[in-house]
Structure 1
Amino acid sequence: MDLVELLPRRLYLLAFPVGHAYLWCAPDGLTLIDTGMPGSAPRIAEAVTALGHTRHDLRQILLTHAHVDHIGAAADLAAWGDVVVAAHHDDAPVVRGEAANPPPVLAEWEQHLYDQIHADLPADPPPPARVDRELHDGDIITLGGGVEAVAVAVPGHTPGSVAFHLPDQRVLFTGDTIARAPDGTVMLGVFNTDPARAADSLRRQAALRPDIACFGHGTPLTDHTATTLATAASRH
C-alpha cells in the first residue's frame, strides 16, 4: 500500500492494489472513506501511525458501496474504538451480511475483465460489519474542524452507491461510480447493476465540478478535474 498526500495534512490516498481508501484528517479525529479488502486493517493502522495519529483517533468510516474491496476491513476497523460506520440505506443490508449484492449487467467487452478480476477476489463474502448510520441523499456528515460532507446518492454501480462531496473544499469521493484507467482516461465505472442509472450518476457528479476527484480505482484527479469529468459525462 502506498500513502499519498492529496491535500497538505488533510487528505491522503491509501493506494491498495485493488480498491483504494482515503483518509481525511481533522484536528478532532480521522474519517476513513472505504476500507480496502479483508485483512487491510494492519496496513491502514501503519498509515495512521505514519501520519502521527493512533487508531483510536478514527472517528468514522464512510462506505461508498458494499463491494468486498471497499467494505472488506470495515468490521476490523469498527472495533478500533468509538467508530461510527455509515453506508447508504440501500447497501446497508449487504454490509451487515443480511443480503447479497445484485449481479452486474455486463457489456460484452466487460465479461473477460470481470472474470479476470473476480478470479483474484475472495470467494467468501467479507466479514459482516455493523452500520451505525444509514445515509440518504443530501445527508450532512460532519468531518470535524468545521468541514462537512454531503452524501450524494449515485445508484447504478450498486443500488446504494453513494458519493461524498465536500463542497467548501471542492473534493469528491466517487467510489466505483467513476474510474480512471491506467492510461489516465476517466470513465464510467464498470460492472454496474444498472448501467443507465450509473450513467445518470456520472453526470450528476460531473455537475458538482470538484477540484479533486477521488476514485475507488485509478489515480485521483487533481488538475483540470471539472473539465475532465464533464468530458467523461458527455460520452454517456
Structure 2
Amino acid sequence: MVFPSVIFLTTGLAYGGAETQLVNLATRLKKRGWDVCVVSMLPPQAFMEELAAAGIPLSTLNMRRGMPDPRAVFRLVKILRQWRPDILHCHMVHANLLGRVVRVFYRILVVISTAHNMNEGGRWREIAYRMTDFLADKTTNVSRAAVDRYIRVGAVPKDKIIFMPNGIDTFRFQLNQNARLQLRRELGLNENFVWLAVGRFEEAKDYPNLLQAFKSVTDERNDAALLIAGQGTLFEDIK
C-alpha cells in the first residue's frame, strides 16, 4: 500500500496547543507509513527531539517574528521541490497564508489551511484569508464557534471550511489512581479540590481574570487549590 506524503507547515514550533496537535498528527501519520516532514517558519524552540525520535525531518525558513521576509517563499519552494509532497498542511494564520501564496510558484496537489483560534489577529488577516481562498482546497478550524464566525465575517466560504476538533490520546490521559495520589502528596494538596490551568503565559489566555475568579472561590472556602502550568512572556507578571 502506498501512503501519501505530507509537509506540515507551521508558523512556529514552541510548546503550545496548536503545535502539540501538529506534532501528534505528524508522528501518528508517520507510524502509519506516511512520508512526513515538518517545516517551521520561525526557528523551532520545542519538539525537536520528539520529531527526531519519530524519524521526521524538521526544517526552518529562519524567519524573524514580526519581520516579513519574501525570501521565505523561495526557501519553501526549494523544500517542496526536494520533497514533492502530495499534501501541504498549514497550521496558524501566517503559515496558512504562506502555504497559499507558495502555490503560485509550485504546483501542489492539495493545500489545507488549519486555523486554531476564533480570532487570528484582526480584520486584515480575515480579508487576506478571503483573497487567497482560491489557493486552498480546504480550511479547517478546531472550534465550531470559530467556523461559524469565519463564515459570518466572510473569511472563508461556507462550502470550503469544516469543523475539525483537536484529537486527544485517551490512553495517555486515562486515570491512574496511584499516580494521582502520589502527585497530590508531592504537591502537598491533601484533600483540597484542585483546578488546573495549562497554557502559555500570554495576554490571550487571560490569567488575571482566572486569578480574580479564584480569589472569589477562596473568599468562600479554604479547601481549594489552583495550579497553573505554562511558559511565556507574562510569567513574571502573573507570578
TM-score band, normalised by shorter chain: 0.3 to 0.5
Greater fraction helix? 2
Task: Give TM-score scaled by structure 2 length.
Answer: 0.33
Greater fraction strand? 1
Larger radius of gyration: 2
Task: Give TM-score scaled by structure 1 length.
Answer: 0.33
